[in-house]
Structure 1
Amino acid sequence: MGVLAGRPEAEIVGALEAFRLGSRPATIMNRIVKGFDAQESHAIAAWFAEQGKR
């Protein structure tokens, strides 16, 4: 995925969900995202998406 700043929110949420489900290879993110609920994942994604607009 590389740089997250400015990527679409839906793309980031999708990646977080893929990590959570184990369908995207990871070394640590799969364990990190298990601690986030859906609302937190969307908030994180929205923040990163907004960073590209600054």
Structure 2
Amino acid sequence: MERYGGSGTRGALEPEIAIDPADAIVHIRDSKDTDRAQLAFADDAWTEFVAFASY
């Protein structure tokens, strides 16, 4: 699983994105508070979201 870490800013949400090619799911969580809920997107939904967000 590939992981992409947060920004290092104090007190701010630091998203950590993990991509698992085996199940084609993108997992997103707060890297400072790993007990909180996390988001999970199918790879096609994530691709659509990134395209929308970067428009």
* Greater C-alpha Rg: 2
Which bracket does the TM-score occupy, shorter chain normalised?
A: 0.3 to 0.5
In terms of fraction of residues, the more helix-rich structure is: 1
Question: Which one has more relative contact order, counting CA pairs under 8 Å at least 6 apart?
Answer: 1
TM-score, scaled relative to structure 2 = 0.37
TM-score, scaled to structure 1: 0.38
Between structures 1 and 2, the one with greater strand share = 2
